[in-house]
Amino acid sequence: MESKPLLPKTVGIWTRPNSPKLIDAISIFDYMDGAGELYLAYRFDHLEAIEYQAETQKEILVELYFMKASEDAFGLLSLDWGGESVDLSQSSSESTAHDKSLWPRALYGEGLLRIWSDNVYARVMAYQETPESKQAVLELGRAIVKGRSKPPAPEMMKALPNALLQNWKVHRDRAGYFRSHLVLNSLYYLSHENILDLNHSTEAVTASYEQQDPSGNHARIQFLTVLYPNHEHALKALSHFHESYLSDYPVPVDSKPSEDMENTFPVEDGWLGYRLHKNRLSFVFECPDQESSKKIINQME
C-alpha cells in the first residue's frame, strides 16, 4: 500500500488547518471552473487542497492530485518541463537510479513547485516568492515525497527516440504524455474534435524534433504515437483521422484491414506520414520532404 503524503502542521511561519479540502471529479468544476477538464483528461481520483497561512506573508497552497496510476501523475508534470529541476530526496540513499533518469520528478520556478510522486501530482505554490516561502515550499515538497516509491516514467515515453534519422534531435522539454485530445491540443494542435479517438484506455506521447542546417536555421517536425487497447480501436481511429484530417485523400483503411499500414501525404505544412502497426498508430508531421517522412515512419516501431 502506497503511503499517503504527510504534511507538517507548520512549516516556517506558515500553519495549515487540521483538514484538507476534498475535491472529487464533480466538485472539481466548482473548485476550478475552466480547469477541471485537465485533470479529468487523465485518470483522476480526487484532490486534496491545503492552504498554509502566515500573519506576515501571503499564503502557500498545496494541492495533491491523487491519480489512478503513476503514469497519470507523470503526464500532468510532462505538460510543462519548464523550471529548475530539484531533488527532494531527504538523503543520498533515497536517490535511486530512477532519479538519474531523463525526466525530472520535481520542478520549481518563481514560487511554484510541481511534483510527480508515484500516483500523486502535487502543486505547491507560494503566492509571493520570498527566500522564506521558497524554503517552506521546498520543505513541503520533501514532506510530500518522503517514504513514497519512485516508479519509472511510463513505458510509452520510450517510444520517443533521442533522434529520428540521426539528424532530428528530440526537444525533450516539449515532450508530453497524455490520454486526451484536449491535452494533445495544448501540446500540438490537430483538431478541436477527438479525431484520434483518444480516451482513458489509450496512451499517447508526442514531442518535437529539431535539426539545424549549416546556416544555423532550425527546422522542426512533430512526432506522435498512440497505443490503443487493441488493433480494432487503432484501425477505427486511423479511419476517423483520415476522414477528418485527410478528407481530400481517399480513405485506404476500410477496404482491406491489415495489421500494418503506412502512408505519406503532402499537406499545407509539409509531409505527413503515419504508420499503423498492430495496436500502435504513429504519425510524423511537418516533414520537409516525402523521403524523410517515409524513412521516419519506417523507423517507427
Partner 1 sequence: MHHKRKALTRRDFLRGTIGATLGASMLGPKFTMARRAPAGASQVTIVRDQKAMDAANTVDPAVLKAMLDETLIKYTGEKTAKDAWGRLLMPNDTIGLVPTPHLNPTHQELVDAVKRSLMEAGFSEGKILNAQGGPDKPKACTALIGLPGLKAHWLTGIGTVMKLYIMYSGAPRNYHDENSAKLGEIWNYPFVTGKTKLVLVDALHPLGDKGPQVNPRYKWAYNGLIAGTDPVAVETVCLRIIMEKRKEMRGEPWPLSPPPLCVEAADKVYRLGTSNWDDIKVENYGWEEGLLLG
240 touches partner 1 by CB under 8 A:
yes
Residues 6+ apart with CB under 8 A from 5: 64, 117, 120, 122, 143, 144, 145, 146, 148
Letters for 78-117 (x = contact with partner 1 by CB under 8 A, - = none) are -xx-xx-------------------------xxxx-----
Contact residue for partner 1 among 189, 216, 255, 256 (CB under 8 A): 189
Query: Which grid cell sits at 231?
Result: 488493433
Contact residue for partner 1 among 29, 40, 43, 252 (CB under 8 A): 29
Least CB distance to partner 1 at residue 290 (A)? 18
Region binding partner 1 by CB under 8 A among candidate stretches 97-105, 149-157, 223-231, 237-245: 237-245
Name the residue nearer to partner 1 (CB basis): 143 or 183. Answer: 183
267 touches partner 1 by CB under 8 A:
yes
Backbone angles phi, psi at 100, to 5 degrees: -90, 10
Least CB distance to partner 1 at residue 181 (A)? 9
* Residues 167-186 close enough to bind partner 1 by CB under 8 A: 182, 185-186
Contact assessment for residue 31 and residue 47, using Cβ atoms and an 8 Å cutoff: yes
Nearest to 42 by CA among 103, 109, 120, 150: 120
Contact residue for partner 1 among 171, 188, 199, 277 (CB under 8 A): 188
Interior/surface letters 64-92, b for 16+ CB within 10 angstroms, e for the rest:
bbbbeebbbbbbbbbbebebeebebbeee
Least CB distance to partner 1 at residue 140 (A)? 16
Nearest to 141 by CA among 181, 90, 77: 90
- Count the residues of the shown chain that bind partner 1, applying the rule CB under 8 A: 40
What's the rounded Cα separation, in Å, for the pair 58 and 54? 7
Name the residue nearer to partner 1 (CB basis): 103 or 245. Answer: 245
Torsion of CA 89, 92, 98, 101, to 10 degrees: 90
Contact residue for partner 1 among 11, 23, 38, 227 (CB under 8 A): 38
Sign of CA dihedral 35, 36, 40, 42: positive
Contact residue for partner 1 among 54, 69, 195, 261 (CB under 8 A): 195
Least CB distance to partner 1 at residue 92 (A)? 29
What's the rounded Cα separation, in Å, for the pair 182 and 198? 10
Tell me which residues touch partner 1 (CB under 8 A).
29, 32-35, 37-38, 79-80, 82-83, 109-112, 123, 125, 128-129, 182, 185-195, 218, 240, 243-245, 247, 267-269
